[in-house]
Structure 1
Amino acid sequence: MVRIKDVARLANVSTATVSRVLSNADNVTEETKEKVLNAIQELNYSPNILGRYLRKMETQTILVVVPDITNTFFSKILRGIESIAVQNGYQVLLADTQNNVRQEVEYLNLLRQKRVDGMILLTARMDRSLVEEIAEEYPVVLACEYLEGSRLPTVSIDNVSSARKATEHLIKLGHRRIAHISGPMDIILSRDRLRGYQQAMAQYELKFDPVLIQEGDFSYEIGYNMAMKYLALENLPTAIFAANDEMAIGAMKAIREHSLNVPDDIAVMGFDNIKISSIVEPALTTIAQPMYEIGTTSMEILLKLINGEDLKKRQFVLEDQLIIRESCGGKVRF
């Protein structure tokens, strides 16, 4: 079956441009219109008139898909999304998948049924071909995560360089036996943070013991449990780098329960800079993500897609920051 993206590819234009030609929009040059119409004729493309009509109907509502609403990391992102949405007359619906890939797929149907005007995904565990196919026809933005090699509009930080920076901070403080509690390995940002950790260790010619790399799930409980594993080893790590703050805080609890001190006995590094990271004792050294900006940028991009604008840029990589507090024994910076 010939799809709109096949027409766009043959005419060497975006799918949004093809849509504008089909809807007889004014902001398309005659030359571009002719290329598109020739491609339609050559491919014998028959657009779905009903689908096109439905896509013209606006709900003034967008859907944000969150993998786990109990994870406080997403709260500032959601606030950023909503601030831009409200300014532009849009309502925000929130969908919590509870890390269920099947549920993620179900929410895509809301776009097909034109019950929302666009979607921001804060997770990307579903089949990439399905996401890309939907994004060819409807406004979709992926935030926090990304699909390697995809043209899907994305907003994130560079998780590899961020994790490398975090690990390097521990190394410069004198640590050589550094453990890493990763996120789930089916998530690309978890793999990126593990890669950054490994790159830093390799750069300083430090051997990393495979037993010191444990897979987590971003929860406080798993951070506690993985730290308990490390504390059962004969040769303890001198530092733990957790792939998010919640796991880092869980690790600190386990260390304290073994009558050890953070950071004097074991230093702890987190990732994200959620609010509680500055409140726990000792305050947590971490990588700060620009969460609010991730939200505002994602919504601004989605509005451009909804309005049929071409994106000159499709991958937005925002700046992170190393926040040094007491949990690693470095200089305090609030």
Structure 2
Amino acid sequence: MKQVAEKARVSTTTVSHVINNTRVVSEDARERVLSVIKQMRYIPSAVARSLKNDKTHTLGMIIPNNSNPYFAEVIQGIEAESFKLGYNIILCNSYDDPKKQAAYTRVLMEKRIDGLIIVSSGSDEELNQLLADEGIPKVLVDREVPGLAADFIEADHEQGGYLATKYLIDLGHTDIACVSGPKTLLPSGDRVQGYWRALKEAGIARREEYLAHSDFTSQGGFTAFQQLLALERRPSAIFASNDLMAIGGLCAAHQAGMKIPEQLSVIGYDDIALASFSTPPLTTIAQPKYEIGVLTAQVMVQRIRNAASELQREKLETKLMIRQSTAAFKA
């Protein structure tokens, strides 16, 4: 800043006022300062500015796993809307490790972020205490953190599980299995509750062996489908709690010599872009991923601007996307 002032023949205070637009500066002085800034390719220090006004216009975001396309599509919405609202994003990946989640939270706090967006990797005492102690604005996406009061944005997972199972029942299936996500994550439990509700409503007996738990990966789905297809009474349809597990399951079914959907109907959850290009294209429950991202950014900025406002809880609807991995039951 001092070098810019010397070349523009003004004071460092004037340069500061031009950069931060904090006081009227003569047009001649402003043009000289901006010209020198352009020549020198001078980039103002965000850290220095944050020390002065306590704002960095930067948001931190922690996600469980950046290899899951679901999170990538949510991030697109968050990044696009944040940029419109004048905020940048620092993204951290916890790799489904709650301990790493707490460590990244500390790192982001040190960066003096204005707000924190979290997709939780699970409960961790250190993280819970850290978030409770910090007064920074927070928005939770998809997964709540026990005991933490924060804005919360999610899709209606119970409704999604219900829609998936009911569609399979409407196709004539009664032996319907479910591949759920980790037991510790609330969205997994909500989708299973929708699955149970649809079965009960249709008068279909609940079979515990038809519920398999796995992580939200293709390998996890592959292993869970192998377990279900090894049962003496094989299911004729399987609802997988995310598309990656469903795609891994398609591979397991193929290895078992089963034709999809003639011998086994498969339905996923999320409607990631890859779902349309699996073999066969995957019937799935679509989450409004981009819209979740946009709404998250809007709620985050509202919270930053008005910390005392009432906490928001938003639940967006899911919908059924019918493709070629499901068919009417054949005895």
Q: Provide the C-alpha distance between the structure 1 equivalents of 2:198 and 2:240, rounded to a whole number of angstroms.
A: 15
The structure-2 alpha-carbon separation of the partners of 1:148 and 1:320, relative to structure 1 and needing over 3 Å to count, comes to farther
Structure 1 letter corresponding to 2:282: L
- Superposed CA RMSD: 2.1
Q: CA offsets per residue over residues 147-196 of structure 1, 9 Å max, x none?
A: 57864101111111110111111011111111111001111001111111
Per-residue deviation, 1:207: 1.4
Indicate the residue corresponding to 1:282 in structure 2.
280
Q: Do structure 1's residue 88 and structure 2's residue 88 form an aligned pair?
A: no
1:163, 1:197 within 8 Å by CA — same for their partners in 2?
Answer: yes
Indicate the residue corresponding to 1:308 in structure 2.
306
Per-residue deviation, 1:260: 1.3
Indicate the residue corresponding to 1:252 in structure 2.
250
Q: Provide the C-alpha distance between the structure 2 equivalents of 1:150 and 1:202, rounded to a whole number of angstroms.
A: 33
Per-residue deviation, 1:146: 2.7
Per-residue deviation, 1:114: 5.2
Q: Once structures 1 and 2 are overlaid, which stretch shifts more, 301-310 or 233-242?
A: 301-310
TM (norm. structure 1) is 0.78
Q: CA offsets per residue over residues 230-252 of structure 1, 9 Å max, x none?
A: 22222110001000001011111
Q: CA offsets per residue over residues 251-290 of structure 1, 9 Å max, x none?
A: 1111112221111101001000001111112111111001
2:270, 2:285 within 8 Å by CA — same for their partners in 1?
Answer: yes
Q: Provide the C-alpha distance between the structure 2 equivalents of 1:300 and 1:189, rounded to a whole number of angstroms.
A: 23
The structure-2 alpha-carbon separation of the partners of 1:74 and 1:112, relative to structure 1 and needing over 3 Å to count, comes to closer
The structure-2 alpha-carbon separation of the partners of 1:131 and 1:190, relative to structure 1 and needing over 3 Å to count, comes to farther
Q: Provide the C-alpha distance between the structure 2 equivalents of 1:304 and 1:179, rounded to a whole number of angstroms.
A: 42
Structure 2 letter corresponding to 1:102: K
Indicate the residue corresponding to 1:68 in structure 2.
65
Indicate the residue corresponding to 2:56 in structure 1.
59
- Bigger Rg over Cα: 2
Indicate the residue corresponding to 1:156 in structure 2.
154
Indicate the residue corresponding to 2:96 in structure 1.
99
Secondary structure of 1:326's counterpart equals coil
Q: Do structure 1's residue 133 and structure 2's residue 132 form an aligned pair?
A: yes
Q: CA offsets per residue over residues 23-70 of structure 1, 9 Å max, x none?
A: xxxxxxxxxxxxxxxxxxxxxxxxxxxxxx979511221111010011
Structure 1 runs, 4 residues or longer, greater than 6 Å off:
none
Q: CA offsets per residue over residues 70-107 of structure 1, 9 Å max, x none?
A: 11111111111111111122211110000110111122
Per-residue deviation, 1:208: 2.5
Q: Provide the C-alpha distance between the structure 2 equivalents of 1:172 and 1:82, rounded to a whole number of angstroms.
A: 39
Q: Do structure 1's residue 168 and structure 2's residue 166 form an aligned pair?
A: yes
Q: Do structure 1's residue 210 and structure 2's residue 208 form an aligned pair?
A: yes
Per-residue deviation, 1:309: 5.0
Identity of aligned residues (%): 31
Secondary structure of 2:269's counterpart equals coil
The structure-2 alpha-carbon separation of the partners of 1:55 and 1:317, relative to structure 1 and needing over 3 Å to count, comes to farther
Q: Provide the C-alpha distance between the structure 1 equivalents of 2:52 and 2:175, rounded to a whole number of angstroms.
A: 56
Per-residue deviation, 1:292: 0.5
Structure 2: runs of 5 or more not aligned: 1-49
Secondary structure of 2:233's counterpart equals coil
Indicate the residue corresponding to 1:44 in structure 2.
none
1:155, 1:316 within 8 Å by CA — same for their partners in 2?
Answer: yes
